[in-house]
Structure formats: C-alpha cells, structure tokens
C-alpha cells in the first residue's frame, strides 16, 4: 500500500478550475493550512522571582513592564533594583551571539526584542525552603524545614518530639525523591537505631529537600511470595527459619530456584542465601522465591531499574494493572531500585475511585488498579484512603516483577 501526495490550489478549485479540482477516492485525506502555520513564532521569557515564570508571545511594542505583568508580578523576595537581560544579537560577521546585561527594574519602559530572556533576581542571601516529612511513630509527625545544610536524621526525629513507645526502628525507612519527574522515590537502606544513638554514625545521613522519614510500627507478620504453592502472609514465629515459612506456604513449586531464595528485611536489606541455610527472618520480613533462570540466580544478575510496566505482578503473581493518568499516556514511571536489588515506589494516594476489590487510585504519575487477586501486606483493600502513603515494593524475576503493596498511614 502506498500514499501519493497531490498538490492543488484550493482557491482555483473553488473558482471552478477542473485541473485544480481532483476527484476524490475512498481513504483520501484533504489538509488545509492556516496562514498562521507559516508565521515564525516569536516569544520572550521571564524567570526567577515572579509569580508565573514562563514563555510568552512577543509583541512588537512590548516593554519590560509588560512582561513582568504577564509573569504575574514580582514576588516578595524579588530584588527590587536589578535584573538580568539575556539577548540574541547579530555580530559584525553575521553570526548570532547571546549577550548578558544588567538592567534596572526602575525602567519598566525598556523595550524588548524577540527571544529576550529576563531573569528576576531574588534578594541577596535568599535560600529556597527545604522541607522533609517525618511520619509514623513519632510524637509530632509533620513537615519540618531544614534550617541548616547539616541537618541529619537524628535532628529531625528530635524536632518531631522523639519516638513513641514501641516504635520499630528495624522497619524505619528514609525515602529520597529520584528527581527525574517520575514522582518515585528510592529507599535508602540504613540502620536507624545506630543513626539515632550515635550522631557521628555514617547511618545518621544528611537530609535533603523532599526526603521522607517514616518510623514504623512493630510488625508481627512475614510474607512469602512468588514460586511457592500458596503465597501467604503469616504470623511471625520467634526463632523459626526460612524453611518453616516456606513449608507454611505449601513448599516450593517445580519452577523455584531454591539456591536463590532471599529475605527482604523490614529495613529494606536484601539477604540472599541458600535454601536450607537461610538468613534470620525478622518480623515484617518478606521471603522471595525466584524462578529458575537457566542456571543464573537472582543475586548474580545485574538488576536494571524496575518499571511500573504491564508485566508487574502483585504478591500472588497476578497482573497489577496500571493506567496512565493523562490522555497523553506518559511513559510509565520508574520504580527505583535500592542497592540490595529491591524496587520501591512510594507516593501519596490520590484520585481514589471504585470499590473493593476493583479499586483504582493515582500514585505519582501512574494509575494503579487492583483486582480480585491483589494481596496487600498487613492491610485490606478497604483500608486505602486518600492521603495515605502507599509503598509498592518490587523484585525482578526472570520474566516478570513481583510486587507487594503496603500502606504507611500518614
């Protein structure tokens, strides 16, 4: 099948010229153009301490004052005296050069040119506000400002009034935004107990803007996922080994790779071990049983970032569908992978629709829809509320992703 481009003069066709009025056939497409389609777009830009920074259409008589108005006016923190003007100029040899000059905001009648960019400075000494969220088992969960560049985990826990009785530091977590616009975060694996007891500990990390510190409640469950006869969430039994929990799940399937069975501790550490000599199982752990992969076990493979793609699965190995939030169908958001190989996506639940078990909600830049087979760790579908912090924990298998979903109440 081929396509042919036929050119004709629409004005002549409407005037009755048969040579410009071709016969139409099934499947033809007629395209007409507006004069504006052939006009060069001219624009100016304003950035910095204005209320609506952005790019705006240029007018031939536009002034600095006009652009500031288009930008929503100056912010309170704007430098009221000077701004920077970046302009394209033609040099003597016909080349284009960008020049930078300082301009005075007292002269709002300054004429602008096409492609000008105006940067409104902030007052000297201004530093953008940096905020961290502290939630969970602390006296005063809230958002706290980082007043210095040396604020650490122990500092914000102290600001939050300290720990509540029974706080489970073994399951505490620090999440850091990926900064790629995907709305996902990476869980940084560290020893919270050591971080709070010893200020000089390497685990007492410096905090950054957007960090989320969550102090967990004590957990009394263990989850077993993937290549077992019946994936389960079971009560923690003191002193029991990995073998005990695998037997409770009905044992391994024929596809299981028993040499690659691993335990994900509640602090996020990934502990691979051989089947009968498994690592210690702690309350809140997840035991992962990978499938065989032609002799290559999961810990030996390089783990690429786990994406929130259609192949993702819930803890029962059934599809966890994800729909784009907007009609433009943006690419799926990445689920960050911590160094131990566990994928983690954290976000606030929004846009809650439907009823259990067919529940749908927004999480970052993706739309998550549960099914009858979706299993949540320690909660039920009905527990999900708008504003909750939802954690999707994923581990890459040979040909799919196993994900456990857990609510961390805000």
Domain count, the chain: 4
| Residue 234 shares a structural domain with residue 210 | no
- The answer as to whether 27 is a domain residue is no
Is 8 within the bounds of a domain? Answer: no
List the beta bridge partners of residue 111.
63
Do 288 and 344 fall into the same domain? no
Q: Looking at the domain assignment, is residue 9 inside a domain?
A: no
Domain boundary, last residue among 160, 188, 216: 216
Residue 10 domain-assigned (yes or no): no
- 389 and 333, same structural domain? yes
Q: Low-confidence residues of the chain, pLDDT below 50?
A: 275-276, 295-343, 395-402, 409-410
Q: What is the pLDDT of residue 49?
A: 93
Which of 251, 270, 299 is the endpoint of a domain?
299
Residues 208 and 235 placed together within one structural domain of the fold? no
pLDDT at 395: 45
Residues 163 and 176 in one domain: yes
Query: How far does Cα 253 stand from its chain's mean position?
Result: 34
Residue-level pLDDT at 68: 96
Residue 6 lies in a domain: no
Q: Which domain holds residue 354?
A: 302-408
The encoded tokens of residue 204 equal: 């007492």
pTM over cut 0.85? no
Q: What is the pLDDT of residue 363?
A: 67
Q: Are residues 401 and 315 in the same domain?
A: yes
Name every residue whose Cβ is closer than 8 Å to that of residue 376 and which is 6 or more positions away in sequence: 383, 405, 406, 407
203 and 238 in one domain? no
Q: Within 10 A of 126 (CB to CB), how many other CB atoms are there?
A: 12
Does residue 306 share a domain with residue 294? no
Those residues whose C-beta lies under 8 Å from the C-beta of residue 15, and which sit 6 or more positions away, are none
DSSP annotation string for 26-81: TT-------GGGGSPP-EEEEEESBSS-EEEE--TT-BHHHHHHHTT-B-TTEEEE
Kindly report the CATH number assigned to the domain that includes residue 191: 3.10.560.10
Whether residue 274 is found in the same domain as residue 228:
yes
Task: Report H helices in 201-250.
Answer: 242-248
Instruction: List the end-to-end C-alpha distance of the chain, in Å, as a whole number.
Output: 58
Q: Give me the pLDDT at residue 76, please.
A: 87
What's the distance, CA 265 to chain centroid? 23
């Amino acid at each position: 099948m081929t396509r042919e481009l036929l050119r004709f003069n629409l004005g002549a066709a409407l005037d009755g010229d048969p040579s410009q009025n071709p016969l139409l056939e099934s499947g033809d497409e007629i395209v007409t153009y507006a004069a504006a389609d052939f006009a060069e777009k001219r624009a100016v830009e304003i950035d910095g301490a204005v209320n609506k920074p952005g790019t705006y259409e240029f007018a031939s008589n536009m002034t600095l004052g006009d652009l500031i108005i288009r930008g929503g006016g100056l912010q309170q923190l704007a430098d009221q005296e000077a701004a920077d003007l970046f302009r394209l100029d033609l040099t003597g040899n016909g080349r284009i050069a960008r020049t930078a000059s300082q301009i005075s905001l007292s002269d709002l009648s300054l004429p602008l040119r096409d492609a000008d960019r105006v940067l409104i400075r902030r007052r000297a000494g201004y530093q953008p506000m940096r905020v961290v969220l502290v939630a969970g088992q602390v006296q005063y969960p809230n958002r706290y400002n980082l007043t210095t560049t040396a604020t650490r985990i122990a500092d914000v826990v102290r600001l939050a009034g300290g720990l509540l009785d029974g706080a489970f530091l073994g399951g505490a977590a620090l999440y850091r935004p990926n900064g790629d616009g995907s709305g996902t975060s990476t869980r940084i694996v560290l020893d919270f107990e050591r971080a709070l007891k010893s200020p000089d500990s390497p685990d007492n990390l410096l905090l950054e803007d957007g960090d989320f510190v969550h102090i967990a409640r004590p957990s009394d469950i263990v989850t077993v996922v993937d290549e077992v006869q019946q994936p389960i969430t079971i009560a923690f039994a003191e002193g029991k080994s990995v073998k005990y929990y695998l037997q409770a799940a009905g044992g391994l399937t024929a596809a299981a790779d028993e040499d690659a069975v691993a335990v994900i501790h509640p602090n996020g550490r990934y502990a691979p071990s051989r089947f009968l000599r498994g690592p210690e199982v702690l309350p809140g752990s997840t035991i992962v049983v990978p499938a065989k992969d032609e002799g290559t076990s999961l810990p030996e493979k390089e783990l690429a970032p786990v994406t929130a793609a259609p192949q993702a699965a819930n803890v029962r190995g059934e599809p966890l569908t994800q729909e784009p939030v907007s009609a433009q169908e943006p690419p799926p958001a990445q689920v960050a992978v911590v160094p131990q190989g566990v994928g983690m996506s954290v976000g606030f639940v929004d846009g809650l629709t439907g009823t259990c078990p067919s529940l749908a909600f927004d999480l970052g830049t993706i739309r998550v829809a549960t099914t009858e087979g979706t299993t949540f760790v320690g909660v039920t579908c009905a527990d999900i509320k708008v504003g909750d912090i939802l954690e999707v924990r994923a581990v890459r298998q040979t040909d799919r992703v196993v994900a456990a979903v857990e609510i961390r109440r805000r």
